[in-house]
Amino acid sequence: MRIAQIAPLAERVPPKLYGGTERIVHCLTEELVRLGHDVTLFASGDSLTSAELVPCCEVALRLNPDVTDFLPHYVVMLEDIRRRAQEFDVLHFHIDMLHFPLIRDFADRTVTTLHTRLDLSDLQPFYRRFTDIPLVSISDDQRRPVPPVNWRGTVYHGLDAAVLPFTEKPAGNYLAFLGRISPEKGPERAIEIATRAGMPLKIAAKVDKADRPYWEGVVEPMVASHANVEFIGEIDERQKPEFLGNAAALLFPINWPEPFGLVMIEAMACGTPVLGFRYGSAPEVIEDGLSGILVDWVEDAVTRMDEVLRLDRRRVRGAFKRRFPAERMTRDYLEIYRNLPGVMSDTGRVRAAAGDRIGLEVAHQPRRSAVESALPLAEPGNSRGGHSGGSRRPHVPSN
């Protein structure tokens, strides 16, 4: 299949530092290329990919000091997509909503994965207007506030297991907090939990401009007044395996309807169990008593700390490999692609059938050059990973 992946421009693909959506786009793109599909990635010009890269800005916007307004760069990207839309069997968007009016004429060949929270009141009239656009959620809980729309499935995130290797015996006896400093992520809760449990806490997180008052007024004073707390700052992909792998557990004390929480499965990949609050997607991601422990209050977290520290790290890693590998995520998306109305039209069926025939011949061959990889392939579909490993189709919960 000829597939376009449209990534956010705030970070490169894959991200240098913070950037969950861009990391998912990278894993999906690379796996699609590995399977023999003809993939084009619309992303920042400093992105690293095996696909054809269409640079939509010179470098990632967040890390470019000359950029003050993201919107013009996205409009330029959308114009590039409009001009090339007919080249693709499927266009997969990861940029929320800006493209919805543009794709109305070919929406039946598109899918949009929503990576953000959907409980804000301003979104209600928007989704009531665009009920025809094919959408994918990243957790079932993410869907709850949305009016009836064209859901095509829920696809849990997946990661390349090789990037986050298993650590059976962590070198540190600390608790980890990874992500960004913001009230909804609960860093002040993490500090309270670690302090009351008598354990060191290492915080590796970025501080956005919008969250700086919260950092300076709430979190930074707490860090300064607790000897057991160390603030490391924002870390990159090379530092993450060591940071997570050597932690005794990851604290995920969220205070908002987290759509997915990529850091949870990053920790699981390293074998590190997760102590998470029972909010948003956490009950869907954490298998309570296997890959982590779910709690409701700070007191519960302190009381159950010994329980999470006793979890078998091999079983934690096993839960990740069973439910959250990039290969499973890619199979889920391929099934959704093939079931889009525009792909299942007469023309689409011809293209898909040709891709399947070629794919059977190339799927198990050694990695090819970029030119050779233009041959399409369609991998037989499977379901998303669920609590029992998934069914035969991506799950579509009721609204």
Domain count, the chain: 2
The string of DSSP codes covering 57-124 is SSS-GGG-TT---SHHHHHHHHHHHHHHGGG-SEEEE-STTTTTTTTGGGGGGEEEE--S----TTHH
Confidence (pLDDT) at 19? 77
Instruction: For residue 165, tell me if it sits in a domain.
Output: no
Q: Which domain holds residue 38?
A: 2-160+326-374
Query: Residue 344: its pLDDT value, please?
Result: 76
Same domain, 128 and 179: no
Residue 141 lies inside a defined structural domain of this protein: yes
| 346, 202: one domain | no
**Confidence (pLDDT) at 17:** 77
Q: Which of 323, 350, 384 is the last residue of a domain?
A: 323
For residues 218 and 284, membership in a common domain is answered with: yes
> Averaged over 125-143, what is the pLDDT?
97
Answer yes or no: do 6 and 154 share one domain: yes
What digits encode the pLDDT tens for the residues 22-50? 999 999 999 999 999 999 999 999 999 99
Least confident stretch, 121-135, 200-214, 372-386: 372-386
| Tens-digit pLDDT profile for residues 248-270 | 999 999 999 999 999 999 999 99
Q: Considering only CA atoms, which of 137, 90, 99 is closest in space to residue 118?
A: 137
Phi-psi region of 12 (alpha: psi -120 to 50; beta: other; left: phi over 0): beta
Taking the model in full, what pTM does it have? Answer: 0.85
Is 7 in the same domain as 156? yes
Is the residue at 383 inside a domain? no
Is there a single domain that holds both residue 314 and residue 358? Answer: no
Same domain flag for 272 and 339: no
Predicted pLDDT at 237: 85
pLDDT 10s digits, 62-84: 889 999 999 999 999 999 999 99
- Residue 383 has a pLDDT of 38
pLDDT of 204 strictly over 60: yes
Helix (H) or strand (E) holding 126: helix 123-129
**pLDDT tens, position by position, 79-117:** 999 999 999 999 999 999 999 999 999 999 999 999 999
309 lies in the same domain as 342: no
Q: Which of 307, 323, 339 is the last residue of a domain?
A: 323
Q: Is residue 381 part of a domain?
A: no
Supply 253's token pair.
């004390």
Domain holding 145: CATH number? 3.40.50.2000
- Band the pLDDT of 227: cuts 50, 70, 90: very high
Band of residue 354 on the pLDDT scale cut at 50, 70, 90: low
User: Is residue 289 included in any domain, yes or no?
Assistant: yes
Residue 391 lies in a domain: no
Would the pLDDT of 372 be above 50?
A: no
Q: Amino acid identity of 274? A: V
Q: Are residues 32 and 12 in the same domain?
A: yes
Residues 138 and 228 both lie in one domain: no
Residues 217 and 134 in one domain: no
Q: Which two tokens stand for residue 2?
A: 């000829």
Q: Using 50, 70 and 90 to split pLDDT, how confident is the model at 16?
A: confident
* CB-CB contact of 9 with 44 (8 Å): yes
Q: End of a domain among 323, 343, 358?
A: 323
Residues 72, 201: one domain? no
Whose tokens are 């928007």? That residue is: 126
Task: Give mean pLDDT, residues 379-384.
Answer: 38
